[in-house]
């Protein structure tokens, strides 16, 4: 239902843009659909945009930190499971 409403709102925006002078010029050139198509800025897209702007060196360091964190997490869960099995 919400998707249908969003589609109607987008269609109304396209129709409104098509009546403007800029819309008519872009329609004559064949670019009107490209101009009107603006992706919604969500949190995920904002994070992906900022991640693309991060230098490669920082990405490698961040990947190393995440990998080390996962190794420590897996090791601590394994040790905790071994202790529980040993006590039982």
**CA dist., res. 65 & res. 78, Å (int):** 20
Q: Could you read off the pLDDT of 29-81 as tens digits, one per residue?
A: 776 666 556 667 788 888 888 888 999 999 999 999 999 999 999 999 999 99
**CA dist., res. 35 & res. 40, Å (int):** 14
Mean pLDDT within 14-39: 72
pTM of the model as a whole: 0.48
**Confidence bin at 86 (pLDDT 50/70/90):** very high
Q: Which among 36, 40, 62, 60 is positioned nearest to 49, based on CA atoms? A: 40
User: With DSSP H G I counted as helix, E B as strand and the rest as coil, what are the percentages for the chain, rounded to 5?
Assistant: 85, 0, 15
């Amino acid at each position: 239902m919400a998707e249908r409403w969003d589609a109607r709102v987008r269609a109304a925006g396209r129709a409104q843009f098509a009546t403007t002078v800029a819309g008519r010029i872009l329609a004559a050139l064949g670019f009107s659909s490209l101009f009107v198509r603006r992706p919604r800025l969500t949190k995920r897209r904002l994070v992906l945009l900022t991640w693309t702007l991060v230098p490669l060196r920082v990405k490698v360091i961040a990947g190393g930190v995440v990998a080390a964190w996962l190794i420590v997490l897996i090791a601590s869960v394994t040790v905790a499971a071994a202790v529980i099995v040993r006590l039982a």
